Amino acid sequence: MFGVLLLLLLFPLLLYIAAPQIRKMLTSGMCTSTVQLPGKVAVVTGANTGIGKETAKDLAQRGARVYIACRDVQKGELVAREIQNMTGNEQVLVRKLDLADTKSIRAFAEGFLAEEKHLHLLINNAGVMMCPYSKTADGFEMQMGVNHLGHFLLTHLLLEKLKESAPSRIVNVSSFAHHLGRINFHNLQGERFYNAGLAYCHSKLANILFTQELARRLKGTGVTTYSLHPGTVKSELVRHSSLMKCMWWLFSYFLKTPEQGAQTSLYCALTEGLETLSGNHFSDCHVAWVSAKGRNETVARRLWDVSCDLLGIPVD
């Protein structure tokens, strides 16, 4: 008993002493690529805030023509002007994209394809986390609908342009939370049972399975694809959960800044010689371990077919 009490008393002191080392470990990973992107075109979803904003800013700094694809166009315009002023790159454009509405996704893709001859980088960054049970405009559970199905449809609509622009890359922002995820095809939309936290995990697992199946289908096209865990980042993603907001505040010292959180996205988008690792999952700018469920090719292929069916895409 005395030993337990002593440990409890010493724990805050030990945490204080170890804090710098713990923080360094949790916020590691930097994209060191010096690649410049003049003449390249990039789309970043959800780039009006958080790691998406930092990703767009870095790409603009390198000279790319960057599309901020977001639901809140007014906020997006403010961010675009901020990036333009910081980088001197006027080619930062804002277009409306609501991933919770397939009509909006199709309208964005139609407008983009009419406007641009090329697309070199598609960074599927936007997402929702731990929101109360709700449905998208098309009746999908919100987290699976936005995080997976929305980006699945967007990628499908832009895929030919990516192939025409090869070499090109698709980067899907997933999460370490995928380890707790499961693809239950009998409850994919949360109709029988819904838990906000688990639903987020399921959608992040779907991101990884989508990336792997997409990589398999894109072999030989010059288009490569990667999924990633950005780290635990101070962002607006936890706005739906009071508990998570409290936890974020308590442990804010150990969280990544949005700039740090964007590093692995940038690493996957820019690092030369990464083509042979298409389909892999990354964290802190290194290949990361994926759960057994995230390596299940049978589930990945079935999820692809089910996603196509839900979105009205012909299954090939």
pLDDT tens-digit profile of 261-284? Answer: 999 999 999 999 999 999 999 999
Predicted local confidence at residue 3, as pLDDT: 47
Please identify which of the residues 67, 200, 226, 267 carries the catalytic annotation: 200
Residue percentage of the chain with pLDDT more than 90: 82
Instruction: Average the pLDDT over 43-53 and give the result.
Output: 97
In DSSP notation, 70-121 reads: ES-HHHHHHHHHHHHHHH----EEEEE--TT-HHHHHHHHHHHHHH-S---E
Predicted local confidence at residue 18, as pLDDT: 41
Answer yes or no: is pLDDT of 22 > 50: no
Question: Which are the contacts of 229, defined by CB distance < 8 A and separation ≥ 6?
Answer: 174, 175, 176, 178, 264, 281, 282, 283, 288
In the CATH hierarchy, which top-level class contains the domain 37-311? alpha beta
Answer yes or no: is pLDDT of 88 > 80: yes
CA-wise closest residue to 59 among 273, 229, 268, 274: 268
Is 133 a catalytic site residue?
Answer: no
Predicted local confidence at residue 199, as pLDDT: 97
Considering only residues 83 and 7, tell me which one the structure prediction assigns the higher pLDDT: 83
Q: Where do we find the tokens 């995820």? A: 181
Question: Which are the contacts of 41, defined by CB distance < 8 A and separation ≥ 6?
Answer: 64, 65, 67, 116, 118, 119, 120, 121, 165
Integer Cα distance of 60 and 43 in angstroms: 11
Answer yes or no: is pLDDT of 146 > 70: yes
Predicted local confidence at residue 315, as pLDDT: 86
Q: How confident is the model at residue 125 (pLDDT cuts 50, 70, 90)?
A: very high
Q: How confident is the model at residue 66 (pLDDT cuts 50, 70, 90)?
A: very high
Distance in Å from the first CA to the final CA of the chain: 64
Answer yes or no: is pLDDT of 192 > 80: yes
Give the pTM. 0.87
CB 126 within 8 A of CB 154: no
Predicted local confidence at residue 252, as pLDDT: 53
Instruction: Average the pLDDT over 242-251 and give the result.
Output: 50
Q: How many residues does the chain have?
A: 316
